[in-house]
């Protein structure tokens, strides 16, 4: 059974703080790793798709890194803002269209 784990489950940070969280996935049969941001009552928003070991992606204050050999990806948020409050989901693709999701990290940014 392929397992994707995310940590921490939830965290609270102050506005302006930088933060990061982790997605761990099987290092074998890796094809792609996707990150989504999911705000309450909205659609999950695609942030990044990462395919190569050592990949780094950036979108505004959010960036992500990928290590396929050890099976993890980090998501970083620089200078957190209240609007960053959301659940961040990662999804692992083991060579098919079937995403295998982690349980998400719930971020709350306090003003």
Q: Where does this chain bind another protein (CB under 8 A)? A: 4, 31-32, 34, 36, 41-44, 46, 49, 51, 89, 91, 93-104
3-state helix, strand, coil in the chain (%, to 5): 5, 55, 45
Instruction: Name which of 15 and 58 has its Cβ closer to another protein.
Output: 58
CB of 16 to another protein, least distance (A): 29
CB of 14 to another protein, least distance (A): 27
What Cα–Cα distance (Å) separates residue 77 from each residue in 14, 15, 86? 12, 11, 12
Token reading at 99: 């995403």
Instruction: Name which of 71 and 104 has its Cβ closer to another protein.
Output: 104
CB of 12 to another protein, least distance (A): 19
Tell me the β-bridge partners of 6. Answer: 23
Instruction: Name which of 26 and 94 has its Cβ closer to another protein.
Output: 94
Tell me the β-bridge partners of 38. Answer: 87
CB of 17 to another protein, least distance (A): 26
Instruction: Name which of 96 and 111 has its Cβ closer to another protein.
Output: 96
What Cα–Cα distance (Å) separates residue 39 from each residue in 20, 50, 82, 88, 94? 18, 22, 12, 9, 26
């Amino acid at each position: 059974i392929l397992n994707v784990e995310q940590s921490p489950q939830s965290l609270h940070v102050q506005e302006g703080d930088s933060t990061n969280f982790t997605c761990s996935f099987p290092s074998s049969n890796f094809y792609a790793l996707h990150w989504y941001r999911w705000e309450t009552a909205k659609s999950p928003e695609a942030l990044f798709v990462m395919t190569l070991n050592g990949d780094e992606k950036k979108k505004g204050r959010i960036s992500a890194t990928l290590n396929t050999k050890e099976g993890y990806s980090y998501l970083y948020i620089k200078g957190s803002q209240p609007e960053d409050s959301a659940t961040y989901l990662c999804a692992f693709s083991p060579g098919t269209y079937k995403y295998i999701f982690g349980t998400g990290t719930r971020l709350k940014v306090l003003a």
